[in-house]
Amino acid sequence: MSSDKEPVKTICPYCGVGCGIQVQPGDEPGDVQFMPWGDAPVNEGRICIKGGAATEVVDHEDRLTDPLLRDDDGEFREATWDEAYEYIIDELERIRDEYGPDAMGFFASSKVMNEENYLLQKLARRYGTNNVDNCTRMCHASTVWALRTSLGAGAMTNSMRDLREECDLFWIQGANPGEQHPIANSQYFRQAVLDGATVIQVDPHANKTTRSFQIDDTERHQHLQLNPGTDIPLLNIVLKTILEHHEENPEDGWVDEEFIAERTEGFDHLKETLADFDKEAAAEECGLPLEEIELAAEKYATADNAAIFTGMGMSQHACGVDNVQNEINLALITGNLGRAGTGVNPLRGQNNVQGTCDVGAMPNVLPGYQLVDDDEARESVEDVWGFSVPDEPGLTNVEISYEAGDSVKGLYVMGENPVMSEPDANSVADRLADLEFMVVQDIFMTETAEFADVILPATTWAERGGTVTNTDRRVQRMRGVGNVHENTKHDLEIVSEVGKRLFEEKVFDFDDPEVVFEELRQVCPSYHGMTYDLLGEEGLHWPCYELGDEGDPFLYEEEFDTESGLGHIEGVEHTPPAETPDDEYPLILTTARLEEHYNTGTMSTRSPTLNRQTPENFVDVHPEDAERYGIEDGEYVRLKSRRGEITLEAHVTDDTKEGVVWTTPHFAAASANRLTNHVLDERAKIPEYKAAAAEIDVDIEPADRAAGDD
C-alpha cells in the first residue's frame, strides 16, 4: 500500500501501558496500516505483538456496518439510524415511565475514550440513575477502593519512568507484566532489573514475567509460587517478619518509625492483628517454605526504594480490598510511598480503564472520584450540568446483570461484552435474555449483542479522536483517520444524539470531543489544568489542577489525599476463597490472560497475527495431576465447575502447581468464565475470578474436542 496521506499519531487500543503508534491511511478508507511512532512518550517506538497487529481488525469483514433492529420474528434486519434512535428513545421512555429510572443499567467501556464515557455516565445520570459502571468492576475495583480509601486516589502512585530510574526492588504480586503489559515490563521494569534492581514475584503460576527476569544473578530474582487465594497469609508473614526483626534490631531501620508517626494512622491495629499470627501455619497454607517468604521480606525491607506492583491476581478475589490493603500496609510501615521509585502500583488492564473511572463511569462516583452521596461535591457537578443527580450509589455492572429481568428491565451497552467478561457466563446469558430492552453499540457482533433488540455500528479506535488515560495516569490524545464504513458512527455522536432526542436539551449538544473535554475538565478537578493543546503529543499525568501544571509523576510527596492527610494502615485477616476443593471438585481453578489475546477476544481473536500463535483455549495441568488423571500433553479434556463445563486441550506443565488448573477467558467456545464463581468482594463488588473448585473429565467424545460446550 502506498499513499500520500499523512499518518496519524494515536494510542494502542489494547493494554493500559498506553504505547503510541501511528496509523497510516491508504487510498481506500479501509486501507489502514500500523506504523511505529519512534519518539512516542511511553514506548519510544517499541511495540508488542498486540500493538503491531492492532490495525488488522479495523476493516475486518465482520465489522457491523449498519444499524440492526430485531423484528417480531426474532431476526435482525437492517434499519436506518432514525428508526434505531426512535426505537431506543421509545423504550427508554417506556421503561422510565413504567418502572422508574433505576430499571435501566448503562455499561460504559474501558475500550472507548474519556469523552465518550463521560457522556454516557452523564446520560445515565440525566436519565435519573447511578446504575452506570465499566469493566474496572471486573479487574481493579477492589484496588481502586483500597487505594482511594487508604491513600486518596485509585491509581498508580508512581510512574513507569520514575520506577525505571529509581526503584531498587520490584515486588510484583498477582500481576504478569511480562505477558499483559509487555512494553512496561521490557522497557521499564526489566531494564531496571538489568541495571541491578531486585525482583520478587508472587504468583501461583510461572509465566512470561518469571522467565523475563531469569537474569544472570538469580539472587536477585525470587518467585514465590503460592497457592491461589493465600496472598493475605503470605503478606502477613512478610509484615510480621519485618516487625519482629525491627523489635530486635531497630538500628537496621526495617520499619520506618518516623514515617509511621508523621504520615500514617492505624499502625496499632496492624500490630494487634499480627500479635497471635502463626507464621509456620500460614506458610503451610501458602504452600511455601517459611524461610523463602522471610527472605523476600528481608529484601523488601532493606531496599532503598521498593515498589509494589499489583494485578488481578490480588484484586479478583472476594477479599480483593483486603489483599490490596495489605500491600498498602507493607508500603506504609516501611516508608515506601511518597517518593520516586516506590509506591503501590496497579497495572491497569484495558487501554482506558483508568480514564473510564476518572470520568465517573461508576455507580458511586462522579467525575474525579467525587462521591455521589457527598452533597457538596455532587452539587458542584450539578451546577455545571444544570440538572440533579441521584444521591444514592447505583448498581455495579455485575449487580445489573444479576438483576436483569427482575428490577432491571433495560440495558444500554457501549462496547462491553458481559456475556464473555462476567463470571458464571452461562447464567449471565440467561439473565440478559430476560431483559425487556437492550441496546448494544459496538464494532462487531458480540456474544452480548446476540441478545440485543437494537445494535448500533460504532467506529473503531483508529477512526476517531479523543483522549485516553494510561496506567500511570498519563492522559494522551488519540487521533483518527475517519470512517472506514460510511454508515457507522463514533460513540460520541451516538450518545450525544440519544441524549438530545431523549431530553431535547443543550446538555448533550456535542459534536467534537474537544468540546466534551472542555466540559469534563470543569467537573473533574484532577483534569482541570489540561487542554487538548497542553496535552500535545506527550500528554500529562493527573493530578493537574491548574493550567500550566505539569502533572505529578508520583503522588503523596507531602501528604496523602485522605480526609486526615494520613495514610491508613489496617491489619487484615485471611479469608479463604469462597469455594475450596472437595471430593466432587478436588482442583483449584485459576484464570489469567495471554499476551497475544485480549479480554473477551472481540478484537484479538479476529486478528490473524494474534490468532496464529494461540487459536483456541487450553488448560495448564501439573504433571502429578496429569499422571493421576491419565492425561497426555495435548489431549482434550473436559474442565468442570459447579457452573458449567468446557472442552479444551491440556498442557502438562509445572508452570502450575499440583492441584491447580489454569486457563483463560478469551475464547467464546471454551471461556473460563463459564466456570468462574460469581461471589463478590463485599465492598468493591468485584467477582472472585481467581479461585473456584474444579474437576477434570478425561473420557470425552472426539466430537466435543475444541467445540466447547456448556
Residue numbers at the binding site for ligand SF4 (CB under 6 A): 12, 14-15, 17-19, 43, 47-48, 50-51, 181-183
- Residue 398 cell numbers, joined: 455485575
Residue 205: CB atoms within 10 Å: 21
Q: Are residues 540 and 134 in contact, defined by beta-carbon separation less than 8 angstroms?
A: no
Q: Are residues 143 and 396 in contact, defined by beta-carbon separation less than 8 angstroms?
A: no
Min CB(460)–ligand SF4 separation in Å:
15
Q: For helices 320-333 and 231-248, what crossing angle results, to 10°?
A: 20
* C-alpha to C-alpha distance for 110 and 598, rounded to whole angstroms: 13
Min CB(193)–ligand SF4 separation in Å:
17
Judged by CB, which is closer to ligand SF4: 115, or 595? 595
Min CB(46)–ligand SF4 separation in Å:
8
Grid-cell match 466456570, residue found: 675
Judged by CB, which is closer to ligand SF4: 538, or 658? 538
Q: For helices 231-248 and 290-302, what crossing angle results, to 10°?
A: 60
For 190, the 3-state DSSP assignment is helix
Judged by CB, which is closer to ligand SF4: 50, or 528? 50
* C-alpha to C-alpha distance for 632 and 611, rounded to whole angstroms: 24
Min CB(665)–ligand SF4 separation in Å:
17
- In Å, how far are 478, 485, 495, 517, 698 from 513, measured between CA atoms? 11, 20, 12, 6, 54
- In Å, how far are 147, 555, 604 from 155, measured between CA atoms? 7, 10, 26
Phi-psi region of 364 (alpha: psi -120 to 50; beta: other; left: phi over 0): alpha
Min CB(209)–ligand SF4 separation in Å:
13
Residue nearest to ligand SF4 (CB): 51
Judged by CB, which is closer to ligand SF4: 10, or 173? 10
Give the list of residues 6+ apart from residue 105 with CB closer than 8 angstroms, or none.
129, 131, 132, 133, 395, 397, 400, 403, 404, 408, 410, 411, 412
Min CB(45)–ligand SF4 separation in Å:
11
Judged by CB, which is closer to ligand SF4: 7, or 51? 51
- Residue 171 cell numbers, joined: 515486588
Min CB(316)–ligand SF4 separation in Å:
20
Judged by CB, which is closer to ligand SF4: 101, or 349? 349
Min CB(350)–ligand SF4 separation in Å:
10
Min CB(188)–ligand SF4 separation in Å:
11
Judged by CB, which is closer to ligand SF4: 11, or 569? 11
* C-alpha to C-alpha distance for 419 and 668, rounded to whole angstroms: 9
